Each structure stands twice: as C-alpha cells, then as structure tokens.
Structure 1
Amino acid sequence: MKTESKMRSDKQKIRGWYMLIPLFVTLMLAGCSGSTGAQGMSEDGRLLVTATTGMIADAAKEIGGEYVEVTTLMGPGVDPHLFKASQGDIRKLDRAAVVFYGGLHLEGNMERVLEKMAAQKTVVAVTDNMPRERLLSAESESDEFDPHVWFDVNLWMSAAETVRNTLIAKDPANADAYREQGARYLQELQELDEYVRGRMLEIPAEGRVLVTAHDAFGYFGRAYDVEVVGLQGISTAAEFGARDVSRLRDYLVERNIKAVFVESSMPARSMEAIVAGAAQRGHEVRIGGELFSDAMGESGTPEGTYSGMIRHNVDTIAEALK
C-alpha cells in the first residue's frame, strides 16, 4: 500500500506532466515558425543567450560582456522548482543561440523540455562538468543530487568555466575576449570565496547554525563549516506538514537557537509560525533577516548580481549569529 507522501508525490508528478503538454506544443510550433530569432543574433550583432536563473545569467553577462545579449527567464523572487514557462518564455528560448540552465533537476519538469531542445541548438546545463564527487545527494529518489551548487562559491567557478567554454565554442571570433573576461570573473569569485570564509569565522563555532525555510544551503554549510537546517526539503514542490513544524520548533528550543532566516523566493509565514511556536515553549527566536536562495535581488541593486547576493547573505548571517 502506498504511503500518503508517496501518493502525494505521484499526484504532483502527474500534474507536472499535464502542465508540460502546452509547453511541448508551443515549442513544436516555435521550431516550425522559421523566425529570424532562430539565427541567434541580435539586431546589433550580439550573440543571443537565454539563462534560466539570475545566477547563471550573471555569469553569462560578466563573461560575455558586450558580445552577448542575455535574457533571464526567472526574475527576482521566482522559485525555479515551481516555475511554469509562459509563451513569452518559450519565445526567449526559441530565439536564443545558446541556452544555459542549472540542471540537477533545479528547473523541475522543464528540464526535460530543455534536454529535447538540445537537438536543435546549443543548450547547456552549467553543472554538467562539475565533479560528481563534489555534489551533495538529494533527499528523494528522483533527484540524484542537490542542485543548489551556487552557494559553494568555489564550486560555482566550475559553472563559470562551462559558460566561458560554451561561448568560446559558439562564437570563436570573440574567443580572446571571453577568455579575458572569464579570467577576471573567476578572480572575482576567488576573492568572494575568501570573503565568505572570513565572515563565517567571525561566528563562534557553536553558534554557526543556519535555520531556513527550505534546505537550499547544504553546499554553503559544507564549504564554510556551518550547520544547516531547513523546514522543507531541497525542493519546495514538496509540502511541509505539522510534524515538520514541530520538529524544527523543538530543535530551536533544544539547541537554544536565537535567529532563523526567511527567503526572498518563499513566503515568510512558515518561519514566522516556527518563531511563534518556539515562543509558546518559552524560547525567544527572532527573524535574523531575509536571504536570497533560489533567486537574486532586483536588477540594478547589489543583490541583483551573484557576488552581491552572496555578500548580502553572508553579511546578514554573520550579523545575526555573531
């Protein structure tokens, strides 16, 4: 007999496939449209690049520079686990010469569509070349690895290298520029990694506990020696229940945790319920701040870049836990 969680998982998969039917149809029509966008170049001669998430788009912009025009499918506050592509998104994919996505099931059922598109154009998962021994296991049978790799800055450098190599292969005329801009971006990431390590060392080891809405910070915890606890699992597609709330509330009380964090791409009410539950047990916990997990901040702000997002998170965590 199937358990309740298994039945819920099966229903979610079936519903996800039904939701993909319009997407497949739209892609087939777009592929037969013969639009000028299929050439993959902008009117001013730049390579058209579409990236699923802001973190990937940032790498493409920094490495591609003036030679690329980058479009992002998922903006600030968008949860990639639950993202549903619109017809406008399909047009962005159709006109691009290169499509970058996260892979490792970050984009959910949409990943199958992207894999099919690879037969017609350059579609690359930026995690493809990451050493598998450096990837963390996911909690479900369908997800082999945790996709939140960008929280280990050193590991994310591999994604940047994949972006650089793809652009060089696709646009060899500007290869020297991609190499130069790629080297500069990788140096920036190296310095960022050192910054994160330094800030985390400001927190006493026993207080280095990060409690968030969902388990997106596993790579961060491993890389920077931080214990990470999430209310939900790796994917937000799975719902949390009363047992999860009670478990986390009791953990906060037992460990005397003073601060928890909300996420920009998820409702704050789940963590607010945890705080209220701990208060009923006589333990005061506060919201330590908002972190960016699956999406970056608004364009034009420091948090709207990968480096700025990471620095914001690290500074918020350090100040709340010190």
Structure 2
Amino acid sequence: MRKYWINYLIIISCFMLIFSCQEKKKNAKFKVVTTTNMISDLLHQIGGDSIEVVGLMGAGVDPHLYKASEGDVTKLTTADAIFYSGLHLEGKMVDVFEKMNKSGYKTFALSDGLPEKNKISSANFAGNHDPHIWFSVENWRLAAKFVTKQLSTLQPQNKEFFEENLRTYDLDLKSLKEDLNEIASKLPKEKRILVTAHDAFSYFGKEFDFKVVGLQGISTTAEAGTKDILDLANFIVENDVPAIFVESSVPEQTILALKSAVESKDKNVALGGTLYSDSLGNSGTPEGTYLGMYIYNMSTIVNALNVTE
C-alpha cells in the first residue's frame, strides 16, 4: 500500500515550482477552491459571478474521513485562494493547508473568523473545539463577513460588489434565524431532545435550546461500541424520545442498531428522517443551499419529535 501522505507532502513541496511554470489566462476568473459544499455555497453568495468556485467535496461526503485525490492536487495548485472550515473538520488535510499557507498559498480557515467565545469546546474531541460551526446561524454570519474581508483583500477592485452581496446575504441569514425560531417554537421545550448518528449538532442545540446526543463523537472517526448503543438506548427509553435521526454523510448502520436496541426494551422509536450534518444536499435543490438545508433540518426535527400519544 502506497504511503499516501508521504507522497502527498512530496507533491506539496513541488507546488511552487509547478505554479511558477503556469501562466494564468488573461481573462480567467479568480479561482477559489473550497472543501465542503457549505463553504462553496457561501463563496457563491459573496463572490457571485466575479469568482469561479471549485469544491472538493459534494453532497453526502464526510469531511472527517475525506482524503484528497490526485485530481484535487491539481485543483489546489491552480487555485488563487483556498477556503476550508478548520478546527480539524477536514482531518489531516488541515495540516496540508497550513503548510501550503507557509509556502505562499492563500489559504483561509473560516473558523479563524470566529471569536473564541463562539466556539464550543469538547472534551470528547481531544480537547479541541467542535468544528460544526455552521449550525450556529450567528457563526455563519461571522463566516460570511470573514469571507468578504478576505475576498476584498485579494480582489480590491471588487470590494464594493462583495460588500453589497454580504449585506444582502446577511439579511437572508437574519430572516432564516427568525424562521427557524418560529418553527422551533411549535415544539415544547420538554420534547427538544435530538438524537443523531454523531455529535454534529451542539451549536444547533445551543442556539435553539435542544438537548443533543450523538451516538458517535464529534468526529466520525470515533466508532460507537455496544456499550454506547445500550447506554443511549436506555436514555431514549427513560426520556421517552419518539424519534432518532440518520445523517446524510454518515452510514445508517449504527442508528439502525440503536433503533433495534431501543425496541428490544419494548419501546417504539421512529426514524425521524435524514438530516444534513457535514454536507448540504444535492446541487440545484433547496437543500443544496445553506438556507434551504437549515429550514429542511429544523422542519424534519420538529415534525418527528412533535408527536402526541
């Protein structure tokens, strides 16, 4: 088996030489490479048609486990700027981005645009912060401002255009927050217990007053064991949780095992639906945008949990 990361770092060391030999076409758009499709959507909102956005990860891709392909290397070496989430969401790729930045590449972690008080610490993730920052709408507003600032520095001739797009998008995000609060208000607080495949919804829980329990840890690299499943099954029975949720970027086997464990205790628990956690939906659908994804998630959660006997 080839030494993937060793070869990858060797390639990285050659990036500057490759880049220096390439001549950018005169009329080519400013090329931005992104990791997750949440970030791609954000760059589209701010950059509009003045930039070309190239995403590495599509719908249903788990960024915790993602490994860059040889094709990704080409995308990265020809990029004018690279935006990634940070806080180790992208696993080992973060180390590569940091090395590229030291070599002169323009790489930006969205998490750098957030103050420390906005980041949730997690003892379950080697003492690092929870990387699922987009589930706080307030954090996403700050991320949009961060992207606008960086693009304006890189393309000062389009600064006013970026800032106008930010003003429009910020109004959309404010409206989104109001809509989410309205939907959440239909669910009594005693029913706001969200059980999912992995612990991706802590920011959501904090912002909308939900108790959130993930079967796996913050990173999907941590596997749930039999004891984890049995402990959570007991929690569901004790708290009379009516539904649990699959995630689009996480295999459903562990949630199905949890459902079976609950039912072995003579308690019915439904699969409440599939939530978008580490990626948006398919491009061209409402769920393929941050705004549409969040409305879908909140509606799915509230509808599944707001059951009456």
- TM-score category (smaller protein): over 0.9
2:130 to 121, 132, 146: 146
Which residue in 2 is equivalent to 1:68?
Answer: 51
SS in 1 for 2:150: helix
**1:168-204 per-position Cα deviation (integer Å, ceiling 9, x unaligned):** 0000011110010111111111111111111111101
Measure the CA separation in 1 of the matches of 2:21 and 2:289. 31
Closer, same or farther: CA 229–38 of 1 in aligned 2, 3 Å:
farther
Which residue in 2 is equivalent to 1:184?
Answer: 168
The answer as to whether partners of 1:80 and 1:108 remain within 8 angstroms in 2 is yes
2:274 to 290, 299, 305: 290
Measure the CA separation in 2 of the matches of 1:316 and 1:26. 44
1:118 to 80, 86, 101: 101
The answer as to whether partners of 2:65 and 2:91 remain within 8 angstroms in 1 is yes
SS in 2 for 1:70: strand
Closer, same or farther: CA 87–38 of 1 in aligned 2, 3 Å:
farther
Deviates more, 1:210-219 or 1:235-244: 235-244
Identity %: 41
**1:132-170 per-position Cα deviation (integer Å, ceiling 9, x unaligned):** 012111234645200001001111111111111110000
Which residue in 1 is equivalent to 2:260?
Answer: 276
SS in 2 for 1:99: strand
Deviation of the 1:60 alpha carbon: 0.6
Is there any run of 5+ residues in structure 1 with no aligned partner, and where? 1-14
Matches within 5 A, 1:1-322: 19-34=4-19, 39=24, 44-119=27-102, 120-140=104-124, 142-322=126-306
Measure the CA separation in 1 of the matches of 2:105 and 2:235. 49
The answer as to whether partners of 2:125 and 2:219 remain within 8 angstroms in 1 is no
Measure the CA separation in 1 of the matches of 2:35 and 2:168. 23
Deviates more, 1:213-222 or 1:20-29: 20-29
Measure the CA separation in 2 of the matches of 1:88 and 1:62. 26
The answer as to whether partners of 1:257 and 1:285 remain within 8 angstroms in 2 is yes
Measure the CA separation in 1 of the matches of 2:15 and 2:247. 35
Alpha-carbon RMSD: 1.6
What letter matches 1:124 in structure 2? F
Is there any run of 5+ residues in structure 2 with no aligned partner, and where? none
SS in 1 for 2:111: coil
The answer as to whether partners of 1:30 and 1:91 remain within 8 angstroms in 2 is no
Measure the CA separation in 1 of the matches of 2:278 and 2:125. 21
The answer as to whether partners of 1:20 and 1:110 remain within 8 angstroms in 2 is no
Divergent runs of 4+, >4 A? 35-39
The answer as to whether partners of 1:105 and 1:143 remain within 8 angstroms in 2 is no
The answer as to whether partners of 2:197 and 2:215 remain within 8 angstroms in 1 is yes
How many matched pairs? 304
What letter matches 1:58 in structure 2? D
What letter matches 1:81 in structure 2? H
Measure the CA separation in 2 of the matches of 1:320 and 1:38. 54
What letter matches 2:177 in structure 1? D
The answer as to whether partners of 2:19 and 2:77 remain within 8 angstroms in 1 is no
Deviation of the 1:27 alpha carbon: 1.9
